[in-house]
Each structure stands twice: as C-alpha cells, then as structure tokens.
A and B are shown apart, each in its own frame.
Chain A
C-alpha cells in the first residue's frame, strides 16, 4: 500500500475541520487582527464554549475568569488561541470516527494526555510556546488514526506482529504498510496545509533530532506511555533518543513534577472537554 492511497479527498480524515481552514486563512493574512480570529472562533458556538473551558482550566493558570473569546485572544495571544482552537476543533470533529475494533476513546485519551505532558514538560523546561506543543500532542498520532480508519485489517496485522515479535508498533506498521504512522501524518497534515512548525514535530516525534519542539513531543509521548494513560496501540515506550532530555532542557529532578502535573491536568481537561472523569489505565 502507498501512503497516497490512505489519505484521499474522500477519506474520513481527508479534510480538516472547516474552522481550521478558516483560522489558517486568517493567520496567513498579514493584516489580520485579534478580532478577525475571535470572529472565526465565535462563528462556531460549541468550539467557543470548549475553548473558553480550556482557557479557564487550571493548566493555563490565567488570573480571573475568561468569558469572552475576544478577551481570550487579547490575554492569551493570537498564536496561542489559534493552537488551542485548532486542538479543540480536531478533537470535536474526529473523536467520533468509526475505528472498527480499535478503541477510539482510548486513542483520544492518549492524545490528550500527550498534549498535557507536552505542556507540562515545556513548562519545566522553560519553553514559551506551550500551547503549540499542546496542539502537536493532540495531532501526534493522527496518522495512526487514519490507518485504523482507512486500513483496519492491515492495522490489526501490524498490531499482532508488534505483540508477537516484541517490536515497536511503528516498526510493525512499516513492515506491513511500507510506511508508518508518522509518514501517514505527514501526508495528512500537509494536505490540511498546516504550517511546518506544526507538521515537523508530529512527523519526527519518534526521531526528533536536535529540534526542541520535536524533542518535547518525543518525551511527552514517552512519559504518557510510561504512565499508561489512554491507548494508541503501542504498549511500550518507543525507543528513546536520550539526547532529547538535554535538547528540551529537562532536568531529572523536574520529571516527577511534570508527571504529576500531566496526570492532574489530563484529569481536569478530560472532564472539562468530554464531561468525563479521568480514567488512568
């Protein structure tokens, strides 16, 4: 199978949520203002409500109650609100897709937890664009979701192969499909015309190299696999690039704080975004 065959115009994940396209258009315009972004978000009532819940969550720790999208954009920042709105819209649109025998809810639990872990690690590492890392956490395994939805049978074969041969699932995917979920994500997110700053960490989250955003996502994925929150098909921590700790400026003593914060923020967001209490695996 070719990766091009997986992601087509008529595929379930072939097109991004409408609001993502609209936001991308506004951000791309040089003269766009905070008001323009707020207008796009407010045109989608449920999205606005969820975004405000997210902005008011303990994770971001903004003082006072944010009860207006325009105020959120002013307070949090254009880029940050854009990231959070995208993350929220993508969860809204795709959390209900039919994944056959795969457990969709557990998949999104894993993605949300990686987003929270990325945010927590970015915080302890002193990085500014925490919302950007949060967005890449939501997106990081979207290629695997596309494989579960569009190529269910081969994905089951890959899953069984991974368990039997005790190899990381991405390696089994490559053996069965001739590509893995990171290559599927590249195809998918480039079709969605998302910027390289978003696409690159997703594509390189198993091979981050020296890029900080890629390293943060790589480590966030490892942390969540270690904590066993949610389930994306992988049952072990994928091979870890040890230099990532240094690249992401994460100290050993900060790890337990990041782990605890991940569990707490994940629990809160799961309840706020999905109306459900957290269920650790």
Chain B
C-alpha cells in the first residue's frame, strides 16, 4: 500500500527535470492557473514556470511520474496526447483553415510527439 510520500514529492523548480508529471494545478498568487495537474514537465514549461516566479511544485512519484524503461502503450498514448494538447495551445492565435498553417501544425505536432516520447522514455 503506497504512502502519500510514495505517491508524490515536492521539488524545487531549479531542480526540476523533464518527464515528471504535475500532481496539482500550478497557480499564481492571484489564483490563476498556469499549468494543470497531470501535465508533463518539459524544458519549455519548466522555463516558463520559473519565469513566472514559481519556485516549487508537487510531482507524481514513480511509477507514474518517472521516466519509463519499458513504456506501456497507455503511457506512450498519454505522451502523444500531451504533446498534441500543447501544440493546439501554441496555435490558438492562428487560423488552421489556411493550408500552409495546417501543414505547419502537422509538422510541429509530429515533431513534438516524437520529442515528448524521447524525453519520457529512457
């Protein structure tokens, strides 16, 4: 039976590394959410949270939060879903009806999904 300390741990943002999964929503002092629980930490998000003054976060511990030696199918699907969600967010100010922008979206989605898998699978 895992204890609460087995299920999560608090880390300093300075020591954060990609691949971990946020346990809680990350909020600013005014309550606005800057990253949702369940999000994978990656180098971009780590930088962004640090820029916004976040110093500590709680992350899920192993087996869900650590890099996977032998990733399950669900884990890989989760990686790709997270990558796609991020890319959709990145494209929110542009019109995806435009064929070039759509092609750009596809190229970026493919790259991000590949990168996310690489980051999270040792």
Contact = CB atoms under 8 A, between A and B. Distances in A.
A223 B104 contact: yes
A215 B100 CA distance: 14
A237 to B, nearest CB: 5
B77 interface: no
Given A103-B47, A259-B108, A242 B103 contact: no
A199 B71 CA distance: 49
A28 interface: no
A252 B53 contact: no
Nearest to A281: B44
Given A252-B99, A281-B44, A163 B32 contact: yes
Interface in A66-114: 101-103, 106
Contacts of B89: 235-236
B111 A263 contact: yes
Contacts, number: 106
A236 B93 contact: yes
A108 to B, nearest CB: 12
Nearest to A259: B107
Contact of A226 (B53, B91, B95): B91
A101 B51 contact: yes
A281 B102 CA distance: 21
Interface string B22-52: 0000001000101000000011110110111
B60 to A, nearest CB: 21
Contacts of A160: 28, 52
A101 B52 CA distance: 8
A236 B44 contact: no
Nearest to A250: B100
Given A242-B98, A252-B103, A106 B47 contact: yes
Contacts of B95: 240, 242
B47 to A, nearest CB: 5
Interface in A191-244: 222-223, 225-228, 231, 233, 235-240, 242
Given A163-B34, A260-B111, A280-B115, 16 more contacts: A102-B51, A156-B53, A160-B28, A163-B32, A226-B90, A226-B104, A227-B111, A228-B42, A231-B47, A235-B90, A236-B89, A236-B93, A255-B100, A255-B107, A279-B43, A281-B44
16 contacts: A102-B51, A160-B52, A163-B34, A226-B107, A236-B90, A237-B90, A237-B91, A237-B94, A240-B95, A250-B100, A252-B99, A252-B100, A255-B104, A255-B107, A280-B43, A281-B44
